[in-house]
Amino acid sequence: MDLENNNKIHGLSTAEALSRLRDEIANILLVYQRRFDTERWTEKLRATFSAGPLHSFAIFTSFLAIVLLLISQNFLAAIIVLALLILNIWLVIRENNLKRSEIHRKIEDVLDVIRLAISGCHKWTASNYPHLCSPLSPCVTLQCTVRDRKIINLPWALLVRGDHIVIRPGQVAPGNCREVNGERCFATGETYTQTEGADPPVVPTQRSPLPDLTCILEGTPFLDNLKTTLEKFLNRPETIFNQQRHLLVTVFIQLWGFLGVILITWIFAVLNYNGHLFADSELTWIDAFMENAVCAVIPTLPLIFPAMWLLLNLWGVAKLETLLSIPRPFQEKSSPSEFHADLDNSPVVDWSNLVLPWRIKVGNWINLIQGDASVLGRSSNVVQILGTMTALCCVDKKGILSWPNPTAEKVFFLRDPRDKTSAHSSSTSFESQQNGQRPQKDKSVAEVLDLTHDQHSPFKLEFDSQNWKNHLDSLKPLGLAILVNTCCPLTQAYYAQFCGHVTAVALFDKDLVPVTNRYEIVESSLNSFMHGRCLCGLATKIGFKKRARDVFTMEGKIASYRHLEPDVVRRDTRFTRSMELASKVKVPFPHSLSVVMRQHRDQSLQLLTQGTADIILDCCDDYWDGKDLRPLGEQERKRAQDFYQRNALTAYCTAFSYRPLRRGIKGPLAGTSTDVAYMELPPESIYKMSHIDPSKCEHIDTAEERQ
Q: What is the pLDDT of residues 475-505, one digit of tens each?
A: 999 999 988 887 888 888 888 888 888 888 8
pLDDT at 433 > cutoff 50: no
> Does the reported pTM lie above 0.95?
no
Distances (CA, A) of 334 to 338, 461, 465: 12, 19, 21
Q: What is the pLDDT of residues 60-111, one digit of tens each?
A: 999 988 988 888 888 998 999 999 999 999 999 999 889 988 999 999 999 9
Query: 203 and 693 in contact (C-beta within 8 Å)?
Result: no
pLDDT band for position 351 (cuts 50, 70, 90)? low
Separation between Cα atoms, residue 42 and residue 577, nearest integer Å: 65
- Cα-Cα end-to-end distance for the chain: 31
Query: 533 and 577 in contact (C-beta within 8 Å)?
Result: no
Residues listed for the chain: 707
- Mean pLDDT computed over every residue of the chain: 78
pLDDT band for position 346 (cuts 50, 70, 90)? very low
Percent with pLDDT over 70 in the chain:
76
pLDDT at 6 > cutoff 60: no
Which domain CATH number covers 208?
Answer: 2.70.150
Q: What are phi and psi of 591, to 5 degrees?
A: -155, 165
Distances (CA, A) of 243 to 55, 58, 317, 412, 538: 13, 17, 19, 53, 50
Contacts of 631 (CB under 8 A, 6+ apart): 621, 622
Residue (of 485, 617, 506) closest to 557 by Cα position:
485
Residue 277 maps to a domain = no
Residue 611 maps to a domain = yes
Residue 282 maps to a domain = no
Q: What is the pLDDT of residues 216-246, one digit of tens each?
A: 999 999 999 999 999 988 888 888 888 889 8
Residue 232 maps to a domain = no
Supply the range of the domain harboring residue 619: 410-419+443-518+528-690
Domain boundary among 165, 196, 226: 226
- The structural domain count of the chain equals 2
Residue (of 324, 317, 307) closest to 365 by Cα position:
317
Separation between Cα atoms, residue 156 and residue 189, nearest integer Å: 12
Residue 268 maps to a domain = no
Which domain CATH number covers 679?
Answer: 3.40.1110
pLDDT at 315: 92
**Is 380 exposed, middle or buried, given 0-12, 13-18 or 19+ CB atoms closer than 10 A?**
middle
Query: 492 and 531 in contact (C-beta within 8 Å)?
Result: yes
Separation between Cα atoms, residue 323 and residue 85, nearest integer Å: 34
Residue 392 maps to a domain = no
Residue 657 maps to a domain = yes
pLDDT at 87: 94
Residue 6 maps to a domain = no
Cβ atoms < 10 Å from Cβ of 695: 7
116: part of which helix (H) or strand (E)?
helix 102-120
